[in-house]
Structure 1
C-alpha cells in the first residue's frame, strides 16, 4: 500500500514545487508521511463540506489545489473555519497536499490541459519558469481552424462545463490564437498580447483589467475561477489512480462553485 510520502513524491514529479509562485504554499501541509493511503480525494478548495465528505468517505489523504494554510498561521483552534477544518482532518488522520501554482504551470498541469481541451496546437508557455522543459505559467497556441465568436464561446463553455461566461469582445473578431491562464490571472494579459494572441481566457479579473483588455484590442473571456480549474482537479484524480491502481481515488462531490447565477 502506498504511503503519503510516496504519493507526495509522485506529485512533486508531476508538478515540481520549484514551478510554484514565490508567494505560494505548496507541498504536504498536514499529516504523517508514513501513513498508508487506501482512499484519496481531490478537490479545488478544502471547505467544511469537503472536509466532512473526506471523513465520511474514509479518505486518508486529500489533494486540495488551493492551500488551506496560505497566510502565516499562529493558532489552530476551533474559533475559525480554517482551524475547525484542520482539527477535524488531523483528528481523522487525513493528510493534505496542495500543488496549486506548481500544478497550474506543470507540463501536464491545468493550463496545459485547458489549452489542449480547447483544441489549441503549437502550445507554448506564456511565461517561462527557469529551464523547466515544457513548463511555465499560462499557455498559448493556435486553433486548427479559426472560429467566430459564437463558435469559440460555445467551445469554451463546453470545455469548462459552464453555463455562463463573462466576455469583453471586439466586434466581428475571428479567433485564431488564444492564451489561457486558469484562476485569477489577469496579470498575464501583457504576455498574451506580446505573444500575438487575439483572445485571452482566464477565470476572473478586476474591472480595470477588463477595461485594459478592451482598450488594447484583445478579446477577454472570464469563465469563473472554479470553472477554469475544476476539470483539471477531476483529471488529477484519474492521474493518481493510474499511478497507484491500488488506491481508490475520486474527486470531491461537495467541491462546488460558491457563486450561482440569479437571472432577474
Structure 2
C-alpha cells in the first residue's frame, strides 16, 4: 500500500515537479484511495463516506478548506507538459503512433516558447480524426488539410502561432493537434495546407487525468483511484 510520501515522490519523478504536496497529511500513513480532479469545482461539497484517502487536484490553488481531512497532491505545469497537448509520449504509445520525438520551439521572447512532440501515425486525415475523436470523446474545432488522403506526420503542441505552424510544416508535419484553435493562425494553417485539430483545453486535461490514474494503478496496484469531472472517453 503506498504512502503519501510514495505518491508524492512518484508524481515528482513522472511530472518533473519539485513540489507535489499541497496539503500535507501523515507521510507514512497508507493511502488506499486517491480521488483525482482538475479543479476544486469538480469536487462534491463533502467527500465520499468511509475512510479518508488523498486528493490529486491539478489546479489546487482555490481549494481552500474543502475536504479538510484529506491530504492533497498537485501538479500544474508538469501535468500540462506531460499529459495534455505537449510532449506526451504516453499519448503516442496509447494510439500506436510511431517514432514520437520531442519538439521544443522558441520564438521571439520567452513567452513565445512552445513544447510538444512530432510522431508518425501512418493514417490519412479521416482515420486520424476518427482515432482522436474516439480517444478524446470529440474535438472543439477543425481545419481540414489540403490533402486529406495522404498519411500525415503529426505535431502535438501546447501553443498555436503562425511562426510555429511554419516551423512544423518545414519538418514535414501535415496535421497539427493542439488544445485551442487560435483564430490568428488559421489563415497560416490554410495557406500551408496543414490540418488542425483543436481538442479543447478541458477535454485534453480530462484525458490527462485519466491517463495519470491509469499509470498510478499500474505503479501501485493496491491503490483505488476515482476520477471526477469527466468520463474516460478511451
| TM-score computed with the length of structure 2 as normaliser | 0.77
- Residues 35, 8 of structure 1: alpha-carbon distance in 2 compared, 3 angstrom cutoff: same
Alignment pair present for 1:170 and 2:149: no
Which of 15, 39, 42 is the equivalent residue of 2:36?
42
Which of 100, 109, 121 is the equivalent residue of 1:123?
100
Cα distance in 2 for partners of 1:170, 1:239 equals 34
Alignment of 1:82-97 (within 5 A): 82=62, 85-89=63-67, 92-97=68-73
- Report the secondary structure of 2:179's partner residue: strand
On the 8 A contact 1:40/1:61 being kept in 2, the answer is yes
On the 8 A contact 2:180/2:199 being kept in 1, the answer is yes
On the 8 A contact 2:32/2:224 being kept in 1, the answer is yes
How many residues of Structure 1 are paired with residues of Structure 2 in the alignment?
216
Cα distance in 1 for partners of 2:4, 2:121 equals 40
Structure 2, unpaired ranges of 5+: 106-113
- Residues 88, 105 of structure 1: alpha-carbon distance in 2 compared, 3 angstrom cutoff: closer
- Report the secondary structure of 2:196's partner residue: strand
Cα distance in 1 for partners of 2:183, 2:14 equals 34
Cα distance in 2 for partners of 1:153, 1:200 equals 11
Deviation at 1:51, TM superposition (A): 4.8
**What residue is the counterpart of 1:241 in the other structure?**
217
Which of 105, 122, 141 is the equivalent residue of 2:119?
141
**What residue is the counterpart of 2:7 in the other structure?**
7
Cα distance in 2 for partners of 1:46, 1:167 equals 27
Which string of whole-angstrom CA distances, capped at 9 and with x for unpartnered residues, describes residues 96-153 of structure 1? 22223323444xx45222223333201101128xxxxxxx931111123x41x32221
Which string of whole-angstrom CA distances, capped at 9 and with x for unpartnered residues, describes residues 63-120 of structure 1? 223x222xxxxxxxxxxxx3xx42123xx222222223323444xx452222233332
Structure 1, unpaired ranges of 5+: 19-25, 70-81, 129-135, 258-264
Cα distance in 1 for partners of 2:53, 2:78 equals 23
On the 8 A contact 2:166/2:192 being kept in 1, the answer is no
Deviation at 1:29, TM superposition (A): 1.9
What is the aligned-residue RMSD (CA, Å)?
2.9
